[in-house]
Amino acid sequence: MWKKDSGFTLLEVLAALFVWIVIASVLVPGLVRMNQERKGFLLEQEARYILNMEQDKIRIGHQAEYPLLISKKTDYLVEFHLESQISELCVSYKEYRQNKKERCVYVHYP
């Protein structure tokens, strides 16, 4: 007659597939959010690097014309606000959510 099969039934396969879909639906939004935050962190890190480089140029006496637009993966706008002895150097950019961010440092002349 019939041999007894030792494979999985259709119901068992569908149950396992359902479990995998539930796990994926819980994990994927978190992974996407983590990736977006990582991109935002990289943009901020690049902005700080640009600020440090421009600040060093100002300290050694290099005269640049501001506002200065630096284009990499995103556009960074560098502005220099001259106020008496303490001046402000700012960089602005758009983050991954298209919100405008701005980072500033004070520049002290020796």
**pTM of model > 0.95:** no
pLDDT by residue, tens only, the chain of 110 residues: 566 777 788 899 999 999 999 999 999 999 999 998 999 899 999 999 999 988 888 888 887 788 888 888 888 999 988 776 778 889 999 987 888 999 988 887 65
Helix, strand, coil % over all residues of the chain, rounded to 5: 45, 25, 30
Written as six digits, the tokens of 105 are 């440092």
What single letter denotes the amino acid at residue 30? G
